[in-house]
Amino acid sequence: MRDVAVIGIGCTRFGEKWSESFRDMFVEAGALALEDAQLSGEKIDAMYVGNMSAGRFIEQEHIGALIADYAGMATRHIPATRVEAACASGGLAFRQAVIAVASGMEDIVVAAGVEKMTDVEPGASTDALTGAADREWEGFVGATFPGLYAMIAQDYMHKYGMTREQLAQVAVKNHYNGARNPIAQFQQEITLNTVLKSTMVAEPLRLFDCSPITDGAAAVIVAPLDRAREFTDTPIKVLATAQASDSIALHDRRDISTLDATVAAGQRAFKMAKLSHKDINMVEVHDCFSIAEICAIEDLGFCKKGTAGKFTADGETALGGKIPVNTSGGLKACGHPVGATGIKQVNEIVQQLRGTAGKRQIDGATIGMTHNVGGTGATVAVHILGRV
């Protein structure tokens, strides 16, 4: 098994991109990544692209081939594979790329993520996203995605007594960070009041507790570590890749407000990297809803179960805190083009570790972590990256 490094990254602006098509966005992200790695397209050996639902959003399947074609690679006939695990599609695409390089099977591999969500009406978009849950036994009976996470929030608040204000601080912090991230969908800071007075979506989650509908694409390029310096002065080593699964339906989980797949993937990642929590300088977690970030930082082990609310309200996850969480702005402020998020997370950590994160830079960052979730926790991918 070889060591793997990230040698190039690229990301489009996230948002409602009326003028850009699915193909346009991918090409832009891919071109940026190639530029960043000073790499020409002919050197790419394989591609993995994370995409949840092009079929429902733009009536297009066969995304692997499509992406390779529009990236100008059709005549090179490289293996191009679409990876799907709902909102964890990007994280899994990254993992597949890492495994392809680590195994020696491929050398230079692109891991990308793309989602074009605004070409359908909001109702159709919401319905497509319900496919990440259990359609037969959750979606069919009236469950929505916010509804499922709202039930997680109710269970959590009932057991641990976190307040509504503490939960809201997650969104406030993420908007603060997003305002310092040029590619983030939302560039404005918000106050606690903004969150608490926003429209109720599913009790207790309000509009500002929920990540938005977003278009966007991101790409990273991985290569064997021992070749990385051919392409970049700042190779970032993949210290761990881990993935876990759990029951698709929330009602079948062992504990409604603990994502056991996060716990499993997190433990595997720390073990593989031979690191512990104190070694991590920042973490990108999957805050599809504010409660998801609360559960994530506990389930990854950064604080004890039931304490993440206070931990957040005390500023420990802010840029200047003990463990900055979601310096990119998270899914909430950066936006959540479903298949692209997992790759964007890697993107953000790489920028932090290279020292190019601008106004949201964490000084002296050497090791970062990403956490990407599918559905209400049925798939989780965790990666640890470090400066070499």
Partner 1 sequence: MTVARFWRKIPQRYNLIGTKCETCKRHFFPPRTFCPDCRREGKIVDHKFAGKGTVVTYTIIQTAPDQFASHGPYVLAIIKLDEGPQMTSQVVCDPSEAKIGMRVRSIFRRIATDGESGIIHYGTKFAPE
What is residue 307's three-state secondary structure? coil
Tell the smallest beta-carbon distance from residue 157 to partner 1 (Å): 10
Complex with partner 1: residue 125 or 372, whichever CB lies closer: 125
Which of these is catalytic: 286, 336, 371, 383?
336
CB 333 within 8 A of CB 179: yes
* Distance of alpha carbon 306 from alpha carbon 293, whole angstroms: 12
Q: What is the DSSP string of 110-166?
A: EEEEEE--TTS-HHHHHHHHGGGS-IIIIITTT--HHHHHHHHHHHHHHHH---HHH
CB 79 within 8 A of CB 67: no
- Alpha carbon separation from 383 to 2, 13, 305, 350, 370 (Å, rounded): 16, 23, 22, 12, 5
Which of these is catalytic: 87, 288, 295, 303?
87
What is the distance between the terminal CA atoms of the chain, rounded to a whole angstrom?
Answer: 18
Tell the smallest beta-carbon distance from residue 137 to partner 1 (Å): 6
* Distance of alpha carbon 289 from alpha carbon 253, whole angstroms: 19
CA 264 to the chain's CA centroid: 18
Tell the smallest beta-carbon distance from residue 256 to partner 1 (Å): 6
Tell the smallest beta-carbon distance from residue 152 to partner 1 (Å): 8
Complex with partner 1: residue 154 or 234, whichever CB lies closer: 154
Q: What is the DSSP string of 90-108?
A: HHHHHHHHHHHHHTTS-SS
Complex with partner 1: residue 214 or 328, whichever CB lies closer: 214
Clarify whether 87 is annotated catalytic. yes
Complex with partner 1: residue 163 or 356, whichever CB lies closer: 163
Q: Which residues bind partner 1 (CB under 8 A)?
A: 123-124, 126-127, 130, 134, 136-138, 140-144, 146-147, 150-155, 158, 199-205, 249-252, 256
* Distance of alpha carbon 286 from alpha carbon 166, whole angstroms: 18
Angle at 305 between CA 196 and CA 303, to 5 degrees: 90
* Distance of alpha carbon 284 from alpha carbon 273, whole angstroms: 17
What pairs with residue 83 in β-bridges? 50
Complex with partner 1: residue 204 or 321, whichever CB lies closer: 204
Complex with partner 1: residue 139 or 374, whichever CB lies closer: 139
* Distance of alpha carbon 370 from alpha carbon 326, whole angstroms: 9
* Distance of alpha carbon 330 from alpha carbon 317, whole angstroms: 12
Which secondary-structure segment (H or E) carries 348?
A: helix 341-354
Complex with partner 1: residue 43 or 305, whichever CB lies closer: 305
* Distance of alpha carbon 179 from alpha carbon 198, whole angstroms: 19
Provide the annotated active-site residues. Answer: 87, 336
